[in-house]
Structure 1
Amino acid sequence: MNEVYISLGSNMGDKEEILRHAVQLLQQHKGIKVVKLSSIYETDPVGFLDQEVFLNMVILVHTSLSAQEILEVCQEVESELKRVRIIRWGPRTIDLDILLYNHDNIETEALIVPHARMHERAFVLVPLVEIAPELKFPLTEEALQTMLEQVGGEGVRLWKVVAGVSEFVHSES
């Protein structure tokens, strides 16, 4: 069974409901089991600043799927939730990024794992370290907790504590 950490973010519409729906769609896939969720964090935009704040979280899934297959499922979820790519780092209903796939280093035309900028982004590191404080960055073996300390948590605010997978996917905003 493969362990995959996925970052989810939304800054359009009912952001919490969109995050919930994305997790539900992943959970409904026969080859994916969502096993852990971070809290939800309100985060300032990065890159393109003239947009609404985001809600971000990280999930851990166990899957029988290959890295390429899980990427395709994530893209299907984005499509189902009306993700449109107009402005790089711009507003979006949902963004799903594969952060880590086991402890593998993957570089293909379509996928780079570990995610190329995850170690620079507090909105990724804060929720990731929350659910997996022991993790090390595969390329350097540096503790993600140490990377978070170097980046700092500026622009990332706890928005809502999530009790568990079942409670989250079956609750209403």
Structure 2
Amino acid sequence: MTKPRVYLAGPDLFFEDRDARYARLRAACANAGLEAVAPTDGLEVHTERPLSVAEQIYQHNLRLLRDCDGVLVNLSPFRGVEPDSGTVFEAAFATAIGKPVAAWIGDHWNTQERSAVLRKVWRDADGRVRDSHDGGLVEDFGLPANLMLACSFSVSPAPWQAIERLLMALPVMEGV
């Protein structure tokens, strides 16, 4: 009679208040009948091992992703307009190995609106929105995240909504 285990992917571990962030996510998951697993859970890094610290963390997180029943992903912008690249990798890895994934972005903007607010943008002669920093095209599909993410799994505006979506995607667990 175990609860479905859900891996918490996101940049939350980089913040000083990470314990509080994980506590809120764990409580929300517990309310939904899920066991939340943070990337730092059970992590033991050994400097005397032949693997670098980075490689040990990488292997640990892949093991957790494989062992969990689903993945809850924080795609909120991190150090810019886009989500954390490690988080995106974890979401893609989980999708590739057939794990249910649901995500949230902590704002209500689509990718074009987010770029306009967080960076300077301009319209080219053809009316396409471009980033003022590098001139790159800003995706304009009205999606809350890059199309490769938003078309792979549901992306909600809040964690509790993503948890509800993940519950619908998880297989029914016997005895839960």
Q: In which range does the TM-score fall when normalised by the shorter chain?
A: under 0.3
TM-score, structure 1 length as denominator? 0.27
Higher relative contact order (CA 8 A, sep 6+): 1
| Larger CA Rg, structure 1 vs 2 | 2
More helix by share: 2
TM-score, structure 2 length as denominator? 0.27
